[in-house]
Amino acid sequence: MLRNVLIISTSPNKGGSSAKIAKEFARGVTDAGNNVEVVTLRDKEINFCKGCLACQKTQKCVIRDDANEIVEKMKFSDVIVWVTPVYYYNMSGQMKTMIDRSNPLYTSDYLFKDIYLIVTAADSNINAADGTINGLMGWISCYEKAELKGVVKGLGIERPSDIEGHKALIEAYEMGKNV
């Protein structure tokens, strides 16, 4: 069964470590014969949620920016892959803002069921991404059909060159192939 996979890259850094791991995940997805689209938030205008909850009735956000198009892509994807560097043991601010802006999906008939997470962190401790995972789990728990299917951790990456030969590249490719 052909699956539509949406990768949301939230790093503010162009061509950074998390983007390289995401690229390997995407390669695995396409090698398995599925469709993949990568959205990079770095160049998008995404404003903070106003908390007005109008989207709960209309399934549309009152803020007119790039988040609306991304939410539509999320709604019609079978798989969503969040990609983020870990800052202060949590997800990037860009990822959190996009998660907040995806609130119109809450009352919609969304398609996604499988959620994946790709993280990079300078810290090599196995628990360095726990805050990010917990934050994402809060979002996932609001969507009855969705579940976290896998996490790729690129730990111990202090400089962009540290990603070369990192085991997370292989893990991401294999996970992408098995979506």
- Report pLDDT for 15: 85
- Report pLDDT for 160: 87
Of 10, 78, 2, 63, whose CA–CA distance to 38 is shortest?
Answer: 10
Residue-wise pLDDT tens digits, 107-129 = 999 999 999 999 999 999 999 99
Residue-wise pLDDT tens digits, 131-141 = 999 999 999 99
DSSP structure class, residue 34: -
Residue-wise pLDDT tens digits, 78-107 = 999 999 999 999 999 999 999 999 999 999
Which domains are seen in the chain, by residue range? 4-177 (3.40.50.360)
Q: Are 77 and 177 in contact (CB under 8 A)?
A: no
